[in-house]
Amino acid sequence: MEVPICVNCGRIAQYRCAIDGEYLCYRCARIAVVGAHHISKPKIPGNIDIEITDKMKQDPRRRSLFESLWDILGYPPAEDVDLSREWIPPDFYPYKHKEYNVKTLCIYVNGEPVGFLDFLFTMDPEENISIQYWKMSVHPKYQGGGLFRLMIDRLKQIAYENNAKRLVVSHENDNIPAFIAEYMLGGKILYTRDLVREEIGRFGIPRRNDIVFVYELR
């Protein structure tokens, strides 16, 4: 897996510029209105494969790549990423408990891991059987190429097959790219919840809330 580096400052990058395709970090990226004719989408050559696996049964070496991708895309930004580490669930990791059945949806391009999300079946706040997902990540190289749509479509299929009524996800209020993706794919805001304390987040936006999105499935 490539560790993307910001073209401006040399830090680890979280985004692909929609105009020229260069890598950018949170500090150097900006949210702006641009003409659709300026936007470039990455070409994804070769085969795209999706795999569903039990999170705790994954090959630790393979899981370490996904955790490294989450480190790359997480906030606050990672200062360094060790792709050689072997992932070991810490003792306090909540999903080691047997009552949780966490799955991982993995997406590959030509056999290379390029994105993932974790999910489980749960009861949502309105007591509907739902799929809750989190840690959704797509490598900056492939952002804008439709991979997240494929992941959500697969989650919807799994939900239908298991009579789940909703997909549920939450994002901090500074995660503007995630908002756009959820809205474009059919999500809507269910409710918001205040964070314990305010802090500066992505793009310099004050982080104040978690915003819970829901996909209603029929």
| pLDDT tens string 109-160 | 999 999 999 999 988 777 778 999 999 999 999 999 999 999 999 999 999 9
pLDDT of residue 90: 60
Burial annotation 134-153 (CB, 10 A radius, 16+ → b, else e): ebbbbbbbbbbbebbebbbe
Q: What is the pLDDT of residue 31?
A: 86
Please tell me the pTM assigned to this model.
Answer: 0.88
pLDDT digits (tens, 9 = 90+) for 66-122: 989 998 998 887 888 888 877 776 665 554 544 467 899 999 999 999 999 999 998
CA angle 185, 191, 195 (to 5 degrees): 110
**8 Å CB contact between 4 and 141:** yes
What's the mean per-residue pLDDT of the chain? 88
| pLDDT computed for residue 196 by the predictor | 84
Burial of 55 (0-12, 13-18, 19+ CB in 10 A): buried
Evaluate if residue 15 carries a pLDDT over 50. yes
Domains and CATH numbers, the chain: 15-216 (3.40.630.30)
Question: At 77, phi and psi to the nearest 5?
Answer: -60, 145
Q: Across-strand partners of 192?
A: 211
**pLDDT band with cut points at 50, 70 and 90 for residue 189:** very high
Specify the pLDDT at position 138.
Answer: 95
Three-state DSSP state, 136: strand
